[in-house]
Amino acid sequence: MGSVKDLLVLDKPTKNKPGKAHFVFSDRYSVFDWGEMPDHIPDKGAAICITTAYFFEKIEEMGIKTHYRGLVEGDEIKKLSELNSPQSRMELNLLRVLKPRLAVDTYDYSVYKEEKGNMLIPLELIYRNSLPEGSSVFRRLKEGSLSLDDLGLDKKPYPGQVLERPLLDVSTKLEAIDRYISWDAAKELAGLSESELEEIKRVTLHINGVITSEASRAGLTNEDGKIEFGFDEARNLVLVDTLGTLDECRFTFEGMPVSKEIARLFYRNTNWYEEVEAAKKVDKVGWKELVGIKPAALLPVLKDAISRLYKASCNEMTHRIWFDDVPAVKAVLEEIRGIL
């Protein structure tokens, strides 16, 4: 069970053979690494499942290997074109997750120098096409953990700046708090060769282009997003987890967020958020225990509007009406703008 989706293991993976599993996409959501938030967003799971399946099928048509096997409807595994109604369960090839060992105040990644295949790569790849307000880049520049040279810029960026070429970023994936790291550190801790690292970058940029193109057809701007990879038994690169959804990407429509950034905007004005940020500065591992209050529930009207946004975005991104009870994305965002 994860914070937003559940994993049902049907066959466990081994060193030499992938397993088989189902992702069950829930209506839960998470912000600021907290885990499950107090509200559930109606139909969010099905909308996310359909959207990521659309991108998996699109990516596979281009020759990129993925762990996607199909969607579960009844007792059958189907492609999107075969579905009778939106589903929230996906079948996939399951890779091993080899967690780094926590040693005092650091992580030991030596297992990735010993193991070679059928495993998740412990990195999260982030592409950035622009720097919208709320991007972690601004915080990291202020803290000094990121420089203009790292960004390939000669002057301080501003919120909303569109980058001349996509920027790639990398963070850890399996730590208590994921942290941004250098490419040299990423290569070292994941046990990657130089050619493997370059292939990961190349495929990430290609996938970014696909998502950006498809999103633009729905009137959405793909500001940034995250992608994850693994290795199969022959150490071939495999696209895993999910992609192209409102949870993995930061989309905007005429400058308005079309993602769970809307929930972040709501919570940034709460005492709970202030405590979360303060606790993370004190203890990067056990910070949740230092937060003395729980997050409040969303305003009911905002929760319902976010639900409609997920469904409307799914309809427009996949070019098929899966949910017929919602207006267009533009109309939903006008409503949300009024609420916020």
Per-domain residue ranges for the chain? 5-339
Residue-wise DSSP of 97-145: --PPEEETTEEE-THHHH--SSEE-SEEEEEEEEE-TT-HHHHHHHHTS
pLDDT tier, 198 (very low <50, low <70, confident <90, very high otherwise):
very high
How many degrees, rounded to 5, is the angle at CA 54 between CA 48 and CA 58?
Answer: 145
Report pLDDT digits (tens) over 214-247: 999 888 999 999 999 999 999 999 999 999 999 8
**Distance between CA atoms of residues 51 and 211, nearest Å:** 11
Averaged pLDDT score across all residues of the chain: 93
Residue 321 has pLDDT above 70, yes or no: yes
Contact of 235 with 116, CB cutoff 8 Å: yes
Strand bridging mode 221-231 / 119-120:
antiparallel
> 81 Cβ partners below 8 Å, 6+ apart?
none
Residue from 97, 123, 87, 117 nearest 9 by CA:
97
Range from 90-104, 153-167, 245-259 that averages highest in pLDDT: 90-104
**pLDDT value at residue 37:** 93
Report pLDDT digits (tens) over 32-63: 989 899 999 999 999 999 999 999 999 999 99
pLDDT tier, 2 (very low <50, low <70, confident <90, very high otherwise):
low
**Distance between CA atoms of residues 182 and 170, nearest Å:** 7
Contact of 183 with 198, CB cutoff 8 Å: no
Strand bridging mode 89-94 / 68-73:
antiparallel
Residue range 5-339 forms a domain whose CATH class is alpha beta
**pLDDT value at residue 103:** 81
**pLDDT value at residue 340:** 83
Contact of 146 with 137, CB cutoff 8 Å: yes
> 274 Cβ partners below 8 Å, 6+ apart?
none
Contact of 27 with 130, CB cutoff 8 Å: no
Residue environment code for 20-39, b if the CB has 16+ CB neighbours within 10 A, otherwise e: bbbbbbbbbbebbebeebeb
Measure CA 67 to chain center.
Answer: 16
Report pLDDT digits (tens) over 134-171: 788 998 899 888 888 877 788 899 988 999 899 999 99
Torsion sign across C-alpha atoms 272, 225, 211, 158 = positive
What does pTM read for this prediction?
Answer: 0.90
Residue from 313, 318, 332, 311 nearest 250 by CA:
313
